[in-house]
A and B are shown apart, each in its own frame.
Chain A
Amino acid sequence: MRLKELRNLLDNKKIGAVELVKEHLNQIEKYDKNLNSFITICADEAIANAKIAQSAIDNGKSKLLTGFPISIKDNIITKDIKTTCASKMLSDFVPPYNATVIQKIIESGAVIIGKTNMDEFAMGSTTQTSYFGNVKNPYNTDYIPGGSSGGSAVSVSADMCVASLGSDTGGSVRQPSSLCGVTGLKPTYGAVSRYGLVAFASSLEQIGIIAKCAEDTAYILDVIYGFDEKDTTTSKSHFGGYTSLIGSDIKPLKIGVPKEIYTHNLDNEVKEAFVKSIEYFKSIGTEIVDVSIPSVEYAVSAYYLISSAEAASNLSRYDGIKYGYRSNEYADYNTLVKKTRNDSFGDEVKRRIMLGNYALSAENYENYYKRAMTVRKQLTSEIEYIFANTDVILTPTIPNTAYKIGEVDIYKIYNDDMYTSLANLTGYPSISTTCGYDKNGLPIGISFMGRKFDEKTIVAVCDDFENTFERRGNDYEIHSGNRA
Chain B
Amino acid sequence: MSKTKIDLETAEHLADLSMLEFSPDEFDKIINVMENMIDIMNKVHDFDSSKTQSNQSFIEYTDLRTDMNYNSYQNEEILKNADVTENGCFVSPKTI
Which residues of A come within 8 Å of B, CB atoms?
92-97, 189-190, 203, 227, 229-230, 232-236, 295, 297-298, 300-302, 304-305, 312, 316, 319-326, 330-334, 336-339, 341-342, 345, 350-351, 353-355, 357-359, 361, 367-368, 370-378, 380-381, 410-411, 414-415, 426-427
CA distance A193 to B26 in the complex (A): 39
CA distance A139 to B61 in the complex (A): 42
CB closest residue in chain B, given A339: B21
Is A368 in contact with B34, judged by CB distance below 8 angstroms?
A: no
Say yes or no for B57: interface residue by CB 8 A criterion: yes
**Total residue contacts A-B, CB cutoff 8 A:** 169
* Interface secondary structure of A, over-half rule: helix
Contacting residue for B93 out of A300, A301, A323, A333, CB 8 A: A333
How near does chain A come to B17, taking the closest CB pair, in angstroms? 4
Is A96 in contact with B73, judged by CB distance below 8 angstroms?
A: yes
CB closest residue in chain A, given B92: A321
How near does chain B come to A74, taking the closest CB pair, in angstroms? 15
A341 touching B77 in the complex, CB below 8 Å, given contacts A298-B44, A320-B83, A377-B54: no
Contacts of A189 in B (CB 8 A): 58-59
Contacts of A92 in B (CB 8 A): 81
CA distance A459 to B33 in the complex (A): 39
Is B81 in contact with A324, judged by CB distance below 8 angstroms?
A: yes
Contacting residue for B49 out of A235, A323, A331, A374, CB 8 A: A374
CA distance A96 to B75 in the complex (A): 11
Q: Mark B56-96, 1 if CB is under 8 A from A, else 0.
A: 11111111110000000100011011111000001111110
Is B77 in contact with A96, judged by CB distance below 8 angstroms?
A: yes
CB closest residue in chain A, given B77: A96
CA distance A426 to B58 in the complex (A): 7
A355 touching B38 in the complex, CB below 8 Å, given contacts A298-B43, A326-B84: yes
How near does chain B come to A344, taking the closest CB pair, in angstroms? 11
Contacts of B57 in A (CB 8 A): 203, 373, 376-377
CB closest residue in chain A, given B36: A411
CA distance A322 to B59 in the complex (A): 30
CA distance A95 to B93 in the complex (A): 25
How near does chain B come to A81, taking the closest CB pair, in angstroms? 13
Contacting residue for B44 out of A235, A302, A354, CB 8 A: A302
Besides the known contacts A233-B61, A326-B84, A361-B13, 10 further A-B residue pairs in the complex with CB atoms under 8 A apart:
A96-B80, A300-B40, A301-B40, A319-B19, A336-B92, A359-B41, A373-B55, A374-B47, A374-B55, A377-B56
Most chain B CB within 10 A, of A320, A321, A325, A358, is at: A358
CA distance A97 to B63 in the complex (A): 24
Q: Mark B16-39, 1 if CB is under 8 A from A, else 0.
A: 011111100000001001101110
Say yes or no for B14: interface residue by CB 8 A criterion: yes
Contacts of B7 in A (CB 8 A): none
Contacts of A316 in B (CB 8 A): 19
Contacts of B6 in A (CB 8 A): 358
CA distance A96 to B73 in the complex (A): 8
Is B52 in contact with A354, judged by CB distance below 8 angstroms?
A: no
Is A298 in contact with B47, judged by CB distance below 8 angstroms?
A: yes
CA distance A232 to B64 in the complex (A): 7
Is A380 in contact with B58, judged by CB distance below 8 angstroms?
A: yes
Say yes or no for B46: interface residue by CB 8 A criterion: yes
Say yes or no for B8: interface residue by CB 8 A criterion: no
How near does chain B come to A191, taking the closest CB pair, in angstroms? 12
Contacts of B81 in A (CB 8 A): 92-96, 322-324
A351 touching B58 in the complex, CB below 8 Å, given contacts A316-B19, A371-B49: no
Contacts of B43 in A (CB 8 A): 297-298, 300-301
Q: Can you list 27 A-B contacts (CB < 8 A)?
A: A96-B77, A189-B58, A232-B64, A235-B60, A236-B62, A298-B44, A301-B43, A304-B41, A333-B95, A342-B20, A350-B30, A353-B18, A354-B14, A354-B18, A354-B20, A371-B49, A373-B56, A374-B47, A374-B49, A374-B52, A377-B53, A377-B56, A377-B57, A381-B52, A411-B37, A411-B40, A427-B59
CA distance A372 to B14 in the complex (A): 20
Contacting residue for A415 out of B40, B59, B62, B78, CB 8 A: B40
Is B41 in contact with A233, judged by CB distance below 8 angstroms?
A: no
